[in-house]
Each structure stands twice: as structure tokens, then as C-alpha cells.
Structure 1
């Protein structure tokens, strides 16, 4: 039987064997690779250990070298220090020797001086006590005489002040006070922004005395020229609000005596007018005592007025307040409200009455009973006042504020009434000797004279002065009293400065122009009054028209000049001081007392 060999099976078997060998080889390769990786890890560990050992050896060597070098340096420093200590010891020993010699010499000198003092005491023992007592008596006498001279000086100053005020009242001049504000932080800021440095913030206006202001006029290439201005009172930067009001307080007594009073603050923007009149703008943040100390003339005047009224009989005086502002040459009643829009601040007109006094028809008056009500009303409308930021001041007032307190007196003093009755009777007698009320009175007077001559009696006076002889039924001899009104006007004027300095434009430029024109009109009125011109231009501005009876009438007017002390505002300050000088030259009519009118009917 033939033997057949299946090649496919043989090949398949060989392939199987070869695949088995291949797998065994691959497994061996994996084992060798694993072994190789383990060997690499061991090698890395050995190399890292060797590197760390090397670093430790290097560090130890470096530390040893550093220690050796430090030791050398320390040894050299110790050697130098030792030599220095030895030198100091030597110097101390020399100094101690000098000290010992000085101490010995001083002890000897002190002994000598003590011996001399003992000798002098022994020689002067009998006379020293008497001389000492005599010196004490002389010192006491000198101190007493000095105190007397001080009292005399104070009394003379007070007398001089009273006489000066009396002279001012008799002459009818306007009283002018000046207040120089201190240098404020915004002066330094403005100087740095203007580029002029510290020269602009230099203080050139000083209050040298109670009535004199000195201005240092500095011009390039010329010597400093000092100009002096005298006023009734000058307040320096250090004087408080209370000191300023003390000089104003006496006018309020005149208000209840029957005189109209006006207090006006004049000056450029940022000179302290509103601070002087109203007080600090941070009053709400202060305590009660601090608030009272920082209040201005308006709140203090209201408090003083009601204090004076409280000393009078109950319900004898009533007070009404009105607040106006003059803005863009228009008068606005800040207490009035529109019935339709309920908007505050209504425009009003100014008229002149037959007696020559200015009057605002339809002006709103609020009845008040204490100073707090006055300030509440003013504070409620003060936010309506026109304000605008400028380069000079961040909150510049652009209108003139006028606060008026009107006092109505109902029950006059009996003695004053008797005096007025007597004065009216004498005036009536004098008038009847010159002018007769009617031809019937004249004929009766002639008949009375004729009968008096026949009976050799004394000459008869006017028949109207004796009821039994008067054939004239008119006027009837009944005297009636009507309440009289006086007013206190407190004016915070808007500040003036040139447009270039304030940096305003547009509508604000028109506001500034109106302010300057109204203040110029005020200056023109004062100039006309000082020169006694026949025509006084009150109607050139609503401001002067409104204050006509206060400026040129019979009211007591006080102008409070507020000036800035720095060189930057020297032009405006000189203008304000010149305005005050012109105001002092005005000789008004002597102030007349607004008493109860005595009507003879």
C-alpha cells in the first residue's frame, strides 16, 4: 500500500511549532525588558544617592570654610575692639583726673564764696529786712497803680467808643466794620492750580488794631507800599463769631427803641460774607455749644431780639419775618408759593411810598414767636437761593439775600407817651402862633387878643390851645395811639469778581454781570450821598431801590466788609475797602425814632 505524505499537515505542524517558539521568545523579551527597567531604576537610585552624598560633602566643606573665615573675621574684630576698649579706658582715666582737679577747684571756690556771703550777711543783717520790706511796698504800689491805669484805659476806650458812636449817630454816617478772614485751605489749592505758587497765597492784609487795616501792596520792581484803612471796628482772623456779634448787638436795642436797622455784608466771593451772616455750613454736625459758637449774625440777632422782647410786657411786641432775594435784577419773594404750581419764589415789584420809603406790595410775612422759628423759615427757603460753582468758590451765591424782621409795638411806655404828649402840645402852640387853621380861628384869636388888652390880662395864646376860647370845632382834641412798626434788615450781598477770575460763561456770565451792575449801582448811590448831589440814583438797580430807606433814609445802617487776606485777591479786597471808605463819608439824616404817632383830631 503506498505511503502518502500530507505536506499541508507537515507545514501546519511546523508553523505551529514556530509560533510556539515565537511566543516563548516574546515572553523572554518581556522578561528581559522588565529586568532592564528594574536595573534602570536601581541605577537611578544609586546615582541619586551618590549625588546627595556629593552635595552633603560639598555643603560640609563650604560650612567648614565659612566657619573658618568667620572665625578669622571675628578674631580680627575682637582684636580691634580690644584696642578700642583700651583707648577708651585710657581716655576715661585722663577725664577722671581732670574731673578730680575741677571738683577740688570748685569746692575751694564754693568755700570762698560761702565765706564772702557770710561776711556780707553779717555786714548787711541790720539793713536787709528793711530794704526788702520797702521793695515789697513799692512793688505793691506799682502793681496797684498799674491796675488803676489799666482800668482807666479800659474806661477811656469804652468812653471813646461811646462818644464815637454818638458822633456817628449825630452826623448820620454809615457805620462800617471790617472782618479779615484767615487763610483757608482752598487758597493754597487755588494758588497751586493758578501756577503762581506761594506768592498768591501770601497774606498781605492785616488787622493791625481794633480800627485799622493795613494792606501790603507789592508790585514788581518796586518797594512794598503799606496802605492804611480806618473803620469803626476791625476784626482779625482770630476773632470769633461771638466777638463780631458783640459789636453789632447794640443796634438791636435801638430797634426796640423805635429805629429801623440794616446790617449788610459786602465783599467778594469767598471772603466770608455768608459765614459772617449765617454761620458755618456744617452746623448740623456740631454739638449744641459748638453750634451756638459758630452761628452768624442772623441767628444771633434773632435770638437777641426775642431776648429783649421777653423783658418787655407780655404781648407788647409781635415779630414777622420775610425773605427776599434779588436775582438778575429781579426781586423774588422766597416765602410765596404759586397757587397753581405750588412753586416757591414769586416775582415782586418795588415801589416808593409818598414818605420816600421803599415797599414791596404783596410781600409774604410769617408770624414768629422765637428765634428757632425764624431759622427754620430761613433754612427752608435758603436752598431756593441761586448758587453756582466758580473757580473762586465751589458754592458761590449768585443773588442778594434780604431777611427782614418786622417788629410791631402795641403798648408804649407811659412815661414816653407823656413826653410825646407834652412835645406835641408845645409843637401845636408854636405852630398856632405862625399859621392858623382857618380864617374863623384867626378872627377868634384877634378878638381874644383885643379883649385881653382891655382887661390887662396876659396875652392869649391860640384859641385852639384852650377849649373854652376856641370857636373852631375842628380839629377835635382827642389823642389816639396806633401801633408802630420797625424793621431789621439783614442783607447777605452776592460777591463780585471779574469773569476771568471766576471762569463763568453763558447764563452764569449774565448772572455775574447783573451782580456787578447792582453792586456798582450801590457804590454810585453812596457816592452821590457823600457828594450831596441833588439826585440819588436809587432806581438804577432793584437792590438799591429795595434798600432805599436803609441806605439814604433815617435807618441805622452797618456795613460789614469781608475781605480775603491773600495776594491773589488783592484787587477785589482793595475795591471792598474803598467801598467801605466811601460809605463812611456818607452823612445821612440823623436817625429818627419811629414812635407812636399822636393824632390830634
Structure 2
């Protein structure tokens, strides 16, 4: 009974559940249908919006395409215009290039004509100088150097700054420009004209290139003197000799480009002589210094053969020429022997350190090359034709028979007594020309150099001798009856060269710094006065004229 009841209950529950499930399914279907309708509606809306966006995008693309086409056309027109402009510019550039080329050629032609006219003017000017006997004056401006910053005494910072500034410049190759400025005063520019002006960038080669033509004059029968003038530390010794090492000159092949006028002049002289017939020339050298108004022979030797400075005196001969009796003259056969002798002399030269220069020269150095030309009256022409005769006569007739390097005076005198030599001496004639190379001691301001004691005394003698040189030039310029050569041993020694018996070149050396303005102006003033001196035409040593047919 109970079992049937339970089955009925379960059947009732199952029937009710089925109804409920059907009801739930119907409800769910309705809901699904509503959801599908909603999704479809949303999709229709999205599609509609997409169509609107696509339409807008299409319109924008059309507008963009039109705008792009318009801009493309505009850019194309601009490119075409630019191309046309470039073509026009290229044509104009080509015309300018042609014009520039023509102008360059014209400029080159004008420059060449200018250089030719300049050389002609220079040649005429030099001829005028020779006819008047004027003193050639060149000016060299050295570079600023580290010690130019040191003043040597207490000064303000403003003055210290001014001291390190340049005051002297090479305006061109004939003009020196000096800026004169003083505190509280307007700057004033002064100019000085000389035959040649070297800037601080020009080399030793450039300096010697203008000196070399004078050396040819020696073999043509003229005496020549080259003199360096300027204050202490202005580059005189560097210009005349070259670089120094520990106060001594360092002649070396490695430093050949730095060699000064003296070693270069020796090399050039022996080069010129080598082109002449052998034995027709020989060269003697003497080296002296003028120290504290005394002349010292720097090649004299003692009985042991040691070189030491011997005091000599300068006299005036009957012919009115200056001469130094007993002065040592040594014959040299090449430039190396000459440089060896000069170095020996330099080792004895007096130097002293100052605030301006560590190896300041305290004496005037005079290196003299005497060139003897052997000529033979009627046999003059034969001398040049017979080389062996020339060599034999040179060996047998060394004239007054100067001492050779390393030869004793007794050996020299024994050679002179040979009968063959006496016979040769009677037949031959000699023409002597002289090259004097002078490195003057520097003028200096005691306040800048800071010298005391013996060095102060040296400075006094140096300045007095340079003042005497200026007095001599002034007297010559004014054509006074009396020329005060004997006021100083320096001027007495250089009497012949300064007085008109030699072609004289003064190489002014100046420092560019504001610190040395006063000394530079003094040197430039000296050069200006020297340039104006007219001594009359320089005398030439006449060589015998060879007989016709010889």
C-alpha cells in the first residue's frame, strides 16, 4: 500500500516538474528572443554609425585628395621655379667664374708688373744709395718671448698687462709701425721707413737672402760691413750668429736653418771663391771684442798654443786708415775652419746675465774676413788659364804669408824667406777686400736690466761707445770738418767702414713689447739717422786690367 503511495507521489512530482521545466523553457526562450532582438538592434545601430563614419571618412578622403593634388601642383610649380632659378644662378655663376678668372689673371699680371716695378725701384734705390754712399738700414722685429712678461721690478697689474702687449709691428716689408700709448694719453702711431723690414715670423733664410748680394761685392773690389744694432735681448746675436747654448754658439748641421749671418756669409764666400780659379783668392780671419773701451784679440795664442784674449790697440796709419798692430790673422781654407775659429773667439767673449737676457753680451764683437785676390800685371790673363801655375803661386807666395790654422809663426816666417816667393812677390799684385761682421753689445736701461757693480760699469762703457757711434754718424751727416772717431775704440776700429770705405748695412733689432717701447724708439731713431747719412760714393778697389793678347 505504501509502495503505491510513493509511486503516485513521485509521478505527481515528475508531472509537476515537467510543467515547471516547460514553463521555465518558455520563459528562457522568450528571454533569448528578447536578447537576440536587442543584439540585432545594437548591430543595426553600429552598422548605421559605421556607415555614417565611412561616409564622413570618404568625404574627408576626397577633400584630402583634392587638397593633396592642389598642394602637389603648387609644389611642382615651386620646384620648376626653383630649377629655373638654379639654372639662372648657374649661368650667372659661370659668368662670375669667367669674370673672376679674368680678374685673377689681370691681378696676376698687375702683381707681376708691380713686383717687376718694385724690383726696378729697389735696384734704382740701391744704386742711389751707392752713389750717395748711404748706409743701408734693415730692421728685424723679434717675436714676443716668455721673459717679456717679467718686468724686473715692482709695477701695477695694469702696467704688467701693458708690458706683455705688442707695440711694434711690421706694417709691410719697408715700414715699422709703433703704437705709442701712455696712461692718460691717447695712443699715437709712429711709422719708420727702412730698406727692408722683417716681421717676427720671417726666418734666418729671409734675412740672409737680402744680405747675400753684398757678399758678391767683395769679389768685385768693395769692402763690406754688416752691423747689428739694438737693445739687450732684441735678437742681435741670434741674427748675426744663430742660436746659443749655455752662452756658446752651437754651429751644427741639424740647426743649419737657424744659422745667422756670420756662418752663412762664410759659407757663401767660400762658395763664390770655389767658382774662381784655384789659388787666385785666400781668406784670413780675425776676431776681436771691444770690452770696456779696450780691444782684445780673441785669436791670440800664448807660448803653449792656448788661445786667450790679448789687449791690442788701434792706430791710424799714414794713409788715414785704422789698423790694429800685431792683430792675429789666421788663414782659413773653408767655412768649417772659419766657424771653428769663431767658436774659439766666442768662448772668450764676455757675457753676463741680466734681468733682460740670460747671456747678455757685454762687449762688441768684430769678425773680419780679409779676402786677398792675386793678380799679375802682364801675366794676369795667364793666371786664369793655367790652373797649376795658380796653385803653385798660391803655395809659394802667400804674400805677407799669414799664419795658417795650426801653424806656428816661425814656420810662417821661414816660408816667407824663400827666393821663389820673393821672385813671385815682385811679379804679382794683391787686392785686399774686407768683410766686417759686427755684433754690437746691446744698449740697455739700467732700471730694466737690474745690473749692479761690474756689470753696471760695463753698461756705462757700452752705452758711451754706442753714443759715440751715433755722434760719428751725426758728424758725417752734417759734413763736419772733424769726425770724432777717436772718442771710442769702437768707432776708431770701425772708422774705415763707417766713414765711407765700405758698403755698410745696419741691421736694427728691436723687441716688440710695450715694455721696451723707449729702447725700441731709440733704436729706430738711430736707424733713421743712419739711413740719412750721405758719405759719398763707396770706393772700389781696382783690379789690374789684363794686357791685350795675354
TM-score (norm 1): 0.67
- By how many angstroms is 1:143 displaced? 3.1
Partner of 1:366: 330
Partner of 1:176: 137
Does residue 510 of the first structure (1) align with residue 473 of the second (2)? no
Partner of 1:157: 118
DSSP-derived class of the 1:208 partner: strand
Give yes or no for contact 1:179–1:234 (8 Å, CA) kept in 2: yes
Structure 1 stretches lacking a partner, 5+ long: 1-102, 419-478
Give yes or no for contact 2:431–2:543 (8 Å, CA) kept in 1: yes
Query: Which moves more between the two structures, 499-508 or 555-564?
Result: 499-508
- By how many angstroms is 1:396 displaced? 0.7
Q: 2:105 aligns with which of 120, 123, 144?
A: 144
How do 1:350-365 residues align onto structure 2 when only pairs under 5 Å count?
Answer: 350-365=314-329
How do 1:2-81 residues align onto structure 2 when only pairs under 5 Å count?
Answer: none
Give yes or no for contact 2:221–2:543 (8 Å, CA) kept in 1: no
Partner of 2:494: 547
How do 1:490-569 residues align onto structure 2 when only pairs under 5 Å count?
Answer: 490-569=437-516
Cα offsets for 1:524-554 (capped at 9, x unmatched) = 0011011111100000000000000000132
- By how many angstroms is 1:499 displaced? 2.3
Q: 1:238 aligns with which of 201, 218, 235?
A: 201
* In 1, Cα distance between equivalents of 2:101 and 2:290: 63
DSSP-derived class of the 2:368 partner: strand
* In 2, Cα distance between equivalents of 1:197 and 1:414: 71
Does residue 226 of the first structure (1) align with residue 189 of the second (2)? yes
Relative to structure 1, the CA distance from residue 192 to residue 309 in structure 2 (aligned partners, 3 Å threshold; closer, same or farther) is same
Give yes or no for contact 1:481–1:598 (8 Å, CA) kept in 2: no
Partner of 2:177: 214
Relative to structure 1, the CA distance from residue 388 to residue 110 in structure 2 (aligned partners, 3 Å threshold; closer, same or farther) is farther
- By how many angstroms is 1:339 displaced? 2.8
Partner of 1:114: 79
Give yes or no for contact 2:222–2:503 (8 Å, CA) kept in 1: yes
Partner of 1:397: 361
- By how many angstroms is 1:290 displaced? 4.9
DSSP-derived class of the 1:249 partner: helix
Number of positions where the alignment pairs a residue of Structure 1 with one of Structure 2:
434
How do 1:151-550 residues align onto structure 2 when only pairs under 5 Å count?
Answer: 151-190=112-151, 194-195=155-156, 196-282=159-245, 290-339=254-303, 342=306, 344-411=308-375, 482-550=429-497
* In 1, Cα distance between equivalents of 2:346 and 2:306: 17
DSSP-derived class of the 1:494 partner: coil
Structure 2 stretches lacking a partner, 5+ long: 1-67, 383-425
Partner of 2:414: none
- By how many angstroms is 1:415 displaced? 13
Query: Which moves more between the two structures, 502-511 or 315-324?
Result: 502-511
- By how many angstroms is 1:416 displaced? 10
* In 2, Cα distance between equivalents of 1:105 and 1:340: 110
Query: Which moves more between the two structures, 289-298 or 520-529?
Result: 289-298
Does residue 594 of the first structure (1) align with residue 546 of the second (2)? no
* In 1, Cα distance between equivalents of 2:380 and 2:305: 49
* In 1, Cα distance between equivalents of 2:240 and 2:71: 70
* In 2, Cα distance between equivalents of 1:307 and 1:380: 23
* In 1, Cα distance between equivalents of 2:379 and 2:174: 38
Partner of 1:455: none
* In 2, Cα distance between equivalents of 1:175 and 1:104: 83
Relative to structure 1, the CA distance from residue 134 to residue 511 in structure 2 (aligned partners, 3 Å threshold; closer, same or farther) is closer
Give yes or no for contact 1:480–1:598 (8 Å, CA) kept in 2: no
Give yes or no for contact 1:538–1:545 (8 Å, CA) kept in 2: yes
DSSP-derived class of the 1:344 partner: coil
Cα root mean square deviation, aligned: 3.3
- By how many angstroms is 1:115 displaced? 2.5
* In 2, Cα distance between equivalents of 1:516 and 1:234: 25
TM-score (norm 2): 0.73
* In 2, Cα distance between equivalents of 1:413 and 1:177: 40
Relative to structure 1, the CA distance from residue 104 to residue 520 in structure 2 (aligned partners, 3 Å threshold; closer, same or farther) is farther
Cα offsets for 1:83-113 (capped at 9, x unmatched) = xxxxxxxxxxxxxxxxxxxx99997765332
